[in-house]
Amino acid sequence: MTPQLGGIDIQTATPDGFPVPHFFRWNDTTYLIVGGYDGQLRFYDSIDNHLADTFHLKVFPFLGLDVGTFSAVSVDDVDHDGKLDLYLGQDLGGVFRLEHQAGANLSLTEPQEQHLLVYPNPARTALNLRGAAELGSLKVYSLEGKLVLEHPGKASEIVLDIEHLQQGLYTLILESGFKARFVKE
């Protein structure tokens, strides 16, 4: 073994980077995703039969995700549907669930969609949106497809007042076409 497991060093703004490693196996191959202080995920392969060597950093940041600080991740087929489920947590207490979709590729090197953090989820009175760039206008739809809220956007951070919404699941659609779901408690 190397002094640094797989030669991994995620020091960024802190001396140790607070790494949170998660190894998982998929299709007879071992992978590693490492979260840390900077909120970004690092995806490694070339782990099998290479424990004494350095692991290969395949994608950084993984899926273009940046959740703030102290990210942690877990990957497994939790619902036994043959698709990987990725659970991502961060220091604000939010947990996000992403599921592998047919045609998606773990080796993406460039994010294909706009980066957007939606929190807290579920929410009671306000929903925070934080994008990597300025967010355009957005619309919120109920499960029935009814438009319930509009916002002009034009900022990288937006706070939506959702206190008037009924409890339930809603879909947020940005001008760019990016979609996210949230739960109103």
pLDDT in tens, 42-99: 888 878 776 666 777 776 666 666 666 677 788 888 888 888 887 877 777 777 777 7
Residue ranges making up the domain that contains 173:
116-184
- Whether 42 maps to a domain, the answer reads yes
3-state helix, strand, coil in the chain (%, to 5): 5, 45, 50
Q: What domain count does the chain have?
A: 2
Q: Who wins on pLDDT, 100 or 116?
A: 116
Residues 76 and 122 in one domain: no
Domain boundary among 99, 128, 151: 99
SS3 30: strand
Highest mean pLDDT among 75-84, 139-148, 173-182 belongs to 139-148
Residues 72 and 124 in one domain: no
SS3 176: coil
How does DSSP assign 31-69, residue by residue?
EEEEE-TTSB-EEEE--TT-TTSPPEEEESSGGG-B-SS
Phi-psi domain of 43 (left: phi exceeds 0; alpha: psi -120 through 50; beta: other): beta
- Whether 147 maps to a domain, the answer reads yes
- Whether 109 maps to a domain, the answer reads no
Domain boundary among 72, 99, 126: 99
Residues 37 and 83 in one domain: yes
Residues 73 and 137 in one domain: no
pLDDT band at 10 (very low <50, low <70, confident <90, very high): low
Residues 12 and 89 in one domain: yes
Distance CA 137, CA 99 (A): 27
Distance CA 177, CA 115 (A): 12
Domain boundary among 99, 134, 160: 99
Residues 126 and 91 in one domain: no
CATH number at residue 157: 2.60.40.3080
pLDDT band at 106 (very low <50, low <70, confident <90, very high): very low
